[in-house]
Each structure stands twice: as C-alpha cells, then as structure tokens.
Structure 1
Amino acid sequence: MKRRTVIGGAAAGAALAATAAAPAAARGRRVRTGAEVLARDDFRDLAGQRVGVVSNPTGVLPDLSHEVDLMHGSGKVDLAAVFGPEHGFRGVSQAGEGEEFFLDPKTGLPVYNAYNDMDRMAELFAETGIETVVFDIQDVGARFYTYIWTMYLAMEAAGQLGLRFVVLDRPNPGTGLAASGPVLHPEHATFVGLKPIAQRHGMTVGELAGLFNGEFLGGAVDLAVVRMEGWRRGMHFEETGLPWVPPSPNMPTVATAVVYPGTCLFEATALSEGRGTTKPFELLGAPGIDHAWSEELEGLPGTAFREAYFTPTFSKWSGKVCGGVELQVTRRDEFDPIRTALAMIVAQRRAFPQYGWRSQDVTSFWLDKLTGNQAVRLAIEAGADVDEVTALWSDELDAFSEQRESYLLYRGTAQ
C-alpha cells in the first residue's frame, strides 16, 4: 500500500512546520494555498522529477500569476506537459466540453485534453514520460462538479503507472462544510459522479484525494497533499484573503458556488438554471412562470426569493423571456443548498406542473444522475414534501460522514 504524504502543517519539515505554526497576522495573510506553499519553498518538492500539471485558470498565486507559467519560467521544475479538465486549461470551452490538444502559446508546453476520457489518462501520462502529476484546480464542493473526477482518473492512472501524485490544496467555498445530500448509488455512476460520495461532500480536493486513495483505489497511489496554511473548516471564502477566479464559465462569483450544490439540480428540469444570464444558478425559471412560484417559497432558512424575469442568451430557453425567481442567500451559515433546491422543485411542480424533468428517454433521467439516487425523483413524483425527500438518504449520509472523518486535514480552528 502506498503512503500518503501531507506537506505542510505537522507533516512538513521543520522549517515549513514552523511557518505553518506562525500566527496568521505574522504571515501577512490569513490563508496560503498549497500552490503558494510549494512556490515559497522554490518548488523543492518537485526537484529532480519530470512533472505534468492538471490545472485550469484557477491555478493561480495571489498576484493572479498562473503556477504553470511560474514553474515554466523558474527553471526549477522539469515541466513536461499540462492536462486540461472540462472547459480546458486556459478556460476557453463551455459546459460539457474539453479542449483539444494544442501547444500553449505562452509557454510552448503541450496541453492535452483530460476531460471525460476514462481510458486515455494513463496513455497520456505514459506518452509524456512524466514521473509526478501535480493537481491544482479550485473545486466548489459538489459531487457533480467534474474536476474531482478528473482528479480521480488522474490518480487511478498514476497508481497504475507508479507515478507520484501531488495535490496542491485550495479552500472549499461551501457553507459549513458538513457533508449533506444523497450519496451516489453505483448504478447511477457517470462523469458527474463516479463513486459513492455525498452530493455536497464538504471536503477540500486534498482531503478528497486521500479518501479516493484509501476507499476506492486501494491505497495504490503515492499521494502527497501540500496543505493550506491558515484555513479552517467553515471559513467563508471571502475571509481567506484569496482572489476568486471563476473555476468555470458559469461559476462567476463565490455566491454562485454557495448555491450551486443545490440549484444545479435545475439542470435536470425543463427550467433554465440561469445559464446565459449574469446570475447562473441564482436565477431559475421558464416562460409562463410568474409570482406564484416565489410566493410558495417563504420560510426557507437563510434565504430570500425575488420574483424575477430574465432572457437567457444561450442554453435552455435562449432568447425567451423567462419568469421565475432569484435566490439570494441572506444567512449563509443557516443555508442548506440541497434542501432549499429540492423545496424549490417541489413548489415549482405544484404551482407550474407543466414543467417536468429533463430526460434522454423514459428510463434515463438527469436528476437520477445528479442526485445519484432515483428515489429522490420518485418521491417528488409521488407528492412527497421536502422533509420526506431529505429523510431518504439519512442513513447513507451518516455512513459517508463517518467514513470521511479520518481523511479530514483541517478542523474548526486555524491551521
């Protein structure tokens, strides 16, 4: 079984441990990402290794310089290749699209498409002759955000080839960071959920990498996590002092990331989830919906709803005036994105039943893929209220929460 190394905090060398233990004020900024820790130490942990990087536009330092550009220009990293996830390395593609092979005009490095190809990753790593894979992408904490599954496939390939895998950790911007929502059932595994984790996993990518290695990959990966410094569970992203770089085209703000683990479920309905507007996943609606929906939504904790009208410029209902709601989070610590979104769906189907599910055919419903559990859809169709729906996964969520506990690297106090 391969060991897991945690770089930073108690698992680092003496100099790095001393820095991690220093007060945040003395370090000048509250949170340092794994990428900062690695750069501050002159990339020593990558010395003598041929390196490939899996990243996207979020792989930046606080001055917004990209780590790939920095590694390439430093002369201290033997950087051989870059691998781009959904939306591409430089972020040029829309949802559900990768980026074909190209030579990066800024660095001259070859950039390969690592999106949604379960059989190609090991072949790509072998072709490029890399010895170490570095992963650094800002996640938003939802099972169906595909970057974590690109990480999983990259880890699987690294384990097969005997490569080292290094995760540069970043904050999870989700509220509270407890796990919540249904746990994926294996029969619903797709690239929006390959393994049985909760819909909102409440973990950083470094913590997830440990769980993936320990629970699903048999410990086969030589995994190292470069920990953040100064981050604690439940810290709002705005408290970190870090810049927000949209991790995908429809994730423009932290507010989007907070609601996304819930309102992404509207992708599974005939309603617009706000793609093609300035507030994706915060504006929801369709033609013919009016104030009756927002009036059904009073009393959900930590929320306020505004009757809203909008015209998407692309995606569902492009060019059509849609009526619906704008979801605003008023008390983030009380807000449950998944319960809120399901309550919204239940109310919408009651007030405007003409809008049903998005499906490929009568046996393949997108909601089942997103929730990972067809019982959610069947309960809603049977007229269950939101309390009855959320009770469906209670035991499975408890089991996942217990399972993930040993993989958590950060607690409720500053690290």
Structure 2
Amino acid sequence: MTRGTSRRAFLAGTGAAVAAPALGAAAPAAASGRPSGVVPGVDVLAAQGWSLLRGQRVGVVTNPTGVLRDLRHEVDAMAASGAVDLVAVFGPEHGFRGAAQAGGSEGTYEDPRTGVTVYDAYGATADDLAAMYAAADVDTVVFDIQDVGSRFYTYVWTMYDAMVAAARAGKRFVVLDRPNPVGGSPRGPLMTPAFTTFVGKREVVQQHGMTVGELARLFDEEFVPDEAGRRVPRLDVVEARGWRRDVLWEQTGLEWVMPSPNMPTPTTALVYPGTCLFEGTNLSEGRGTTRPFELVGAPWADHRWAEALRALDLPGVLVREAYFQPTISKHAGATCGGVQLHVTDPHRFEAVRTAVAMLVTAKELYADFAWRYDSYDPQRPYWVDKLSGSPRLREMVDAGAGVDEVEAAWQQELRAFARLRRPYLLYPGRSS
C-alpha cells in the first residue's frame, strides 16, 4: 500500500492509505516457505497509473537501481507514460546512470534519452538541493534507490539531505520503497554526533535493518526538524509488497542491479556492513577485484590470518586463505595475501561480528597493521572512527580486547536504537 504521513496524521498515529491494485498472480513461494514475489514500490505506483504524482512537477532522486521488475528504468517509464510531469533528475554518488567510481559523480547534464535535466546531487548540501528544486521548479521530490542496509552507504544520507531540503523549501517527498537486502535486524555500534560525516550523518547503528521508506519516516520525525525547523510538509512512502524482515535478497525474486561499481552481488551487500570497516585500515578491502569487500588483505598478510579466523568458528561463513592483486585503490598492482569470506548461511552470518574478528586477529598477527590516518582532519584523523561512529572500536582493538568484549560495548545503544526505530517500521517479521 501507499502510506502518506502528514504531521497531523503522524501525531495521531495514523496515515493516509491508498490500496494498490492487483499486480497479477503471486510468484511461487521460495523453498523456505517465505515469499519470493516481492513487488517494489515503483511497480506498485506504476500499476496505479502513477496517480500519486499526477498534477505535480516531479523531480526524482535515483540511480541505475531505480528500475521496475522488468528492468525498465523508472525515469524512462515515467517520461514515456505521459502521466508524470517529470522535470528533473538528481544524481547521487556514482551518478544517475552509474558511470562514476567511489567518490565521483557524472556532473549536471541533459539526459539524452528523456531530455530531462540531471542535476549533480553528490556532495550537495540541503541548501544546494533546495536551490536545485527551485531551479527545476519541482512540487514533489521522489526518492528511489536500492540501499544495502549499511549506515556508511551514502545513498540514505542523500535521501536525508533531500528531505531536509524539501522541508525547508516546502516540497512534498515521496519514497518508493524497496527491500533491505540484508534483512530487518539491527546490528553494530551507533554513530555519535562528534564523528558524523557523509558516511554517517545521524545517530543510526552500523547495520540499521530498515528500508529507505522506514528510514525516511524515522528521519522525518526524529532528525529533519533539528536542521530544517520542521518536518517535510507531506511524506508518502509507497511500500514494497510481499517483503518481510526475515527475507534476504535471494528470496525476493528480484534481479540485482549494482547500486554502485563495488557492490556487484547480493553477497557483497551481506558482508559490506562489516568489511567496509577495512576502508579505515591499511589493508585492501578488495576494491579493484571482482570480489570487493569479500576479499581483504595486504602485501604483508599471510596464511596465519585465515587460520586464526577459522579457529573462531564464526557463524554462517567459511574463511579461505586468498591472494589477489587490486587494480585500483590501496595496494594497486601488488600481490596481497589475506582472506576471502564465503557466506554459507546468510541467515546466521553476522557481518559486523565477523569484521570485528578480522580486525582483532589482524592486529594481533601483524606488526604492519595500521589504521588509516587522515592528516586533513587533525581533530578526527582516523577514518575508522567515522565509519564505526566513535573512537571506541579502534581503541578497544588497540588495547587487545577480544571479539565478545568489543561487541558487548555497544549492546545498550543497539537496544536503544531498536526501541527508537520501532514506531517507524512498516513490514512484518522479526524486528530486533
């Protein structure tokens, strides 16, 4: 269904609901008995003839993942439908069509297929985005990007800034929801205000276990008023049909479209909430290989790392001794020793715990292990602090803390976040 939340409706505990018409026969159930015919919010809206957007000048924040189930891009489908007055597209990190690498974008240009102006929204502040809304004269901003469930994946913060801009500019905001590919349970430490950046702008845990629609509801109530002085005038979330919190990507029946160049498979998304922490070290996190974030290593790492990790019997994963040569980023062109994670049971696998075990054992084994140090930010020089949300993880690993001790340190704040997010959840299934 479509859930619209105005201030009055939200405070009353209700929201306007628009029932979606039938979208054909349901897909066969997965072998596990869980649903396999998940319908993204964009397909629900298209089946309604885009009625929620009629009579408005529409700008869309999206990237290559903004596709219908038949893999047509929604911008192309909206433009071709004649039912949507599409006046702007806003491209996030990697760009609208997805051609740019990490930390890059495609610039501002006219889309040759639709003739619509594509604005470069990567790195744009809320004020910048509000100026883009004014330049395009939009009435409604639509957000539709496939997230991967990790706080440091920047698309949710593009959405957050876009919402702050919409609140300031008095624009309606519509989220076309999609499944969280790594499920609905939260894991890991909380971001703290002193360490916020574009890889974590607000107090959300490392693996948040929410869809973008659920995050939008939380942002609108808990965080947007802090920066905009008010909530979004009208927030609508078009829910994905058929998703449960215990359903992972392979059970959705949907095709995987790479959200970014280094997120090639659903397995990458499974490990990313943990192994992205290696961006904050001097080890390669596998960028420049065909298995980014599954492969981690350095020229000085060897077989002992895999042996140490296998001895821990981590749930849902086998650890293999591996050697690789990254073509870009850290240690490009050098042969790295290290490990590859082989997820054997996605429902038991814990990405954050696995990464903590990897950090603890690497620190114990290798004198060459070091944290990335950013001299441009002398007050907060360690990138891993910005990824994990505070200096605590780094300091505990340096002090020789074990995996259980490190994880125990954030359980109280994790429970508090689970309570905070509860009113904003939209989908059934286990939520903690």
In structure 1, how many angstroms separate the alpha carbons of the residues matched to 2:238 and 2:94?
A: 25
Q: Name the counterpart of 1:258.
A: 270
Q: 1:382 aligns with which of 399, 403, 413?
A: 399
> Which residue is equivalent to 2:326?
312
Match of 2:299 in 1: 287
Secondary structure of the structure 2 residue equivalent to 1:350:
helix
Structure 1 residue 29: Cα displacement:
6.7
**Structure 1 segment 210-229 matched on structure 2, within 5 A:** 210-218=217-225, 220-221=231-232, 222-229=234-241
Q: SS at the partner of 1:318? A: coil
Q: In the alignment, is residue 357 of structure 1 matched against residue 345 of structure 2?
A: no
Distance 2:333 2:24 in 1: 54
Return the alpha-carbon distance in structure 2 between the equivalents of residues 132 and 4 of structure 1: 19
The answer for the alignment partner of 2:119 in structure 1 is 112
Pairing 1:2–2:7 present: yes
Cα drift, residue 98 of structure 1: 1.9
Task: Give distance in 1, aligned partners of 2:421 and 2:23.
Answer: 24
CA–CA separation in structure 2 for the residues paired with 1:63 and 1:125: 30
2:78 aligned residue: 71
- How far the C-alpha of 1:394 sits from its partner, in A, is 1.3
Q: What are the residue-to-residue correspondences of 1:260-409 with 2, within 5 Å?
A: 260-298=272-310, 299-361=313-375, 363-409=380-426
Verify the 8 A CA contact 1:54 1:85 in the aligned structure 2. Answer: yes
| Equivalent position of 1:13 in the other structure | 18
**Structure 1 residues 173 and 68: alpha-carbon distance in aligned structure 2, compared to 1, 3 A threshold:** same
Query: Which aligned segments of 4 or more residues in structure 1 are displaced greater than 4 angstroms?
Result: 20-26
SS at match of 1:296: helix
CA RMSD of aligned residues (A): 1.9
SS state at 2:134 partner = helix
State the alpha-carbon separation in 2 of the partners of residues 381 and 395 from structure 1.
Answer: 22
1:22 deviates by: 8.6
Asked whether the equivalents of residues 184 and 372 of structure 1 are also in contact (C-alpha less than 8 Å), the reply is yes
Alpha-carbon distance change, 77 to 264 in structure 1, aligned in 2, over 3 angstroms: same
AA matched with 1:292: R
Structure 1: runs of 5 or more not aligned: none
Partner Cα separation in structure 1 for residue 178 and residue 255 of structure 2? 12
Q: SS of the counterpart of 2:261?
A: coil
Question: Structure 1-normalised TM-score?
Answer: 0.94
Q: How far did residue 99 of structure 1 move?
A: 2.0
Of 133, 157, 168 in structure 2, the residue corresponding to residue 125 of structure 1 is 133
- For the Cα contact (< 8 Å) 2:300–2:368, is it kept in 1? no
Amino acid paired to 1:125 = Y
Q: Which amino acid aligns with 2:254?
A: L
Aligned-pair identity (%): 56
* Deviation larger for 140-149 or 329-338: 329-338
- Contact residue 4 and residue 223 of structure 1 kept, 8 A: no
Kindly provide the amino acid, as one letter, of the partner of residue 324 in structure 1.
Answer: G
Shift of 1:115: 1.1
Q: After TM superposition, give the deviation of residue 223 of structure 1 in Å.
A: 0.5
- Residue 44 of structure 2, aligned match among 24, 32, 37: 37
CA contact under 8 A between 2:288 and 2:328: conserved in structure 1? yes
1:247 correspondence with 2:259: yes
List per-residue Cα deviations over 1:176-205 (Å, max 9, x = no partner): 421110000000010000000000000000
CA-CA distance at 1:214 after TM superposition: 0.8
Q: Could you tell me which amino acid in structure 1 is paired with residue 322 of structure 2?
A: A
2: distance between equivalents of 1:4 and 1:307? 55
Q: How does the TM-score come out when normalised to structure 2?
A: 0.90
2:32 equivalent in structure 1: none
- Once the two structures are superposed, the pairs formed by residues 126-275 of structure 1 within 5 Å of their partners are 126-174=134-182, 176-218=183-225, 220-221=231-232, 222-275=234-287
Change (3 A) 1:29 1:356: closer
Deviation string for 1:141-170 (max 9, x for gaps)? 000000000000000000111110000000
Q: Secondary structure, in 3 states, of the residue corresponding to 1:364?
A: coil
- 1:184 maps to a residue whose letter is M
CA distance in 1, matches of 2:385, 2:9: 34
2: CA distance between counterparts of 1:207 and 1:300?
Answer: 30
- Check the 8 A contact 2:54/2:84 in 1, yes or no: yes
Paired letter, 1:322: C
Instruction: State the Cα distance separating 1:349 from its structure 2 match.
Output: 1.1
The answer as to whether partners of 2:284 and 2:296 remain within 8 angstroms in 1 is yes
For residues 294-351 of structure 1, give each alpha carbon's deviation from its aligned partner in whole angstroms, at most 9, with x where no partner exists: 0000211111011100001111110111110001111111111001001001101111
Letter in 2 for 1:151: M
The amino acid of 1:220's aligned partner reads R
State the secondary structure of the residue aligned to 1:12: strand
| Partners of 2:23 and 2:47 within 8 A in 1 | no
**217-226 or 64-73, which moves further after superposition?**
217-226
Q: Using the TM superposition, give the Cα deviation of residue 25 of structure 1 relative to its aligned residue in structure 2, in angstroms.
A: 5.5
Q: Tell me the secondary structure at the aligned position of residue 399 of structure 1.
A: helix
Greater mean alpha carbon deviation, residues 29-38 or residues 153-162: 29-38
Aligned length: 405
Q: Is the 8 A contact 1:20 1:230 kept in 2?
A: no
Q: Is the 8 A contact 2:36 2:251 kept in 1?
A: no
Using the alignment, how far apart are the partners of 1:115 and 1:338 within structure 2? 27
Q: Which residue of 2 aligns with 1:82?
A: 89
